[in-house]
Homo-oligomer: A and B are copies of this chain.
Amino acid sequence: VQTYLDCYPCFVRQALEAARLATDDEGTIRQALDGTLAILQEMDLQSTPPEIGAAVHRLVRQVTGDADPYRAIKRTCTKHALALYPALAERVAASDDSFATAARLAIAGNIIDLGIPDAPYDGDALRLDIENVLRAPLTVDDLELLRGEIGAAQRVLYLGDNAGETVFDRLFIEQIAAPVTYVVKATPVLNDAVLEDAQQAGLDRVATLIDGGFDAPGTLLAHASPALREAWQAADVVISKGQGNLEALSQTPGRVFFLLRAKCAVIARHLGLPQGSLILKRSDAWANAS
């Protein structure tokens, strides 16, 4: 997925929010914004949104001197999600189809995304939203393909997305028999999970945690760490969570299952699906289209 002109206002908004989280100093915030405008003026529209996002958030961290502006928010998101964990784990266990319920929860958890305006991340809004998603049909539903391939897999690679969403990933990973390697960001970017965030969610109990080597809000294979390169080669199935990973990997054929909610209008239009769509899609079909 290339970057669309519609992404411009969103990047500026993200830079403003990140800078405000990092500092109250208006001069510093303006410096971060002006730097962001310069990045946008120079950007190649063939770049993917995670590449541009990486540059924008790196600049905000540099200008503000805050290595992780979303740290407190990420903790809150993880805390709220952990509070839901016991009841959701029971629900998965009691389900007629635990695998399907857990997969849906993993998609539902993708609502926790501070890259999106007005995303609910307080406990009550989150709970309500999850209930709605559990009742809604998937817009694209390759669940049975995923079930089959995961059932046969020796190793599964799981590309994480946001802090808090991690807890929902954990519920899903608990339903996967094969060993799972879970990829976090190497450096904080937006509210994406880094190692610490994944550990707080308890993911270290159910998966091997590695960092991907990049600080983009999406998996940039060209910048992958040796650990990610190795795990990518070894995996029979790759589970890719969220918009950022889809944007980065939409051209990647086979083996990759994208689980996400199409939260932004740009990605929904790119996919030809309604905004808000719940998606569980094997990569093949999109490889040529995007």
B5 touches A9 (CB 8 A): no
Would B5 and A26 count as touching, CB distance under 8 A?
Answer: yes
A residues 1-54 with Cβ under 8 Å of B? 5-6, 8-10, 12-13, 16, 26, 29-30, 33-34, 37-38, 40-41, 45
B5 and A30 contact, CB distance less than 8 A: yes
Q: A5-B33, A6-B16, A34-B41 given. 15 additional CB < 8 A pairs?
A: A5-B16, A5-B26, A5-B29, A8-B16, A8-B33, A8-B37, A9-B10, A9-B12, A9-B13, A12-B12, A30-B45, A33-B40, A37-B37, A37-B38, A37-B41
6 chain-A/chain-B pairs, Cβ below 8 angstroms: A5-B33, A8-B16, A8-B37, A9-B9, A9-B10, A37-B37
Residues of A within 8 A of B (CB): 5-6, 8-10, 12-13, 16, 26, 29-30, 33-34, 37-38, 40-41, 45
Q: Please measure, in the bound complex, the distance between the C-alpha atom of A6 and the C-alpha atom of B16, giving whole angstroms.
A: 7
Give the chain B neighbours of A33 by CB distance below 8 A.
Answer: 5, 8, 40
Q: Residue of B at shortest CB range from A20?
A: B5
A29 to B9 Cα, complex, angstroms: 13
Q: How far is the CA of A8 from the CA of B9 in the complex (A)?
A: 8
Number of this chain's copies in the complex: 2
Contact residues in B for A6 (Cβ distance below 8 Å) = 16
**A45 contacts across to B, CB distance below 8 A:** 30
Which residue of the partner chain B has the closest CB to A7? B16
Q: How far is the CA of A5 from the CA of B5 in the complex (A)?
A: 21
Chain B hits for A5, CB < 8 A: 16, 26, 29-30, 33
Contact A12 B16, beta carbon cutoff 8 Å: no
Please, which residues of chain B bring their CB within 8 A of the CB of A9? 9-10, 12-13, 16
A268 vs chain B, min Cβ distance (A): 16
Closest Cβ–Cβ distance, residue A264 to chain B (whole Å): 13
Inter-chain CA distance A30–B16, complex, in Å, is: 21
Closest to A19 in B: B5
Residues of B with C-beta under 8 A to A38? 37, 41
What's the least CB distance linking A42 to chain B, in Å?
9
Provide the residues of chain B in CB contact with A37, threshold 8 Å.
8, 37-38, 40-41
A45 to B33, CA, bound (A): 13
Return chain B residues, CB-CB under 8 Å to A29. Answer: 5
A38 closest partner in B (C-beta): B41
- CB-CB under 8 A from A34, the residues of chain B are 40-41
A26: chain B residues within 8 A (beta carbon): 5
- A10 surroundings in chain B (CB, below 8 A): 9
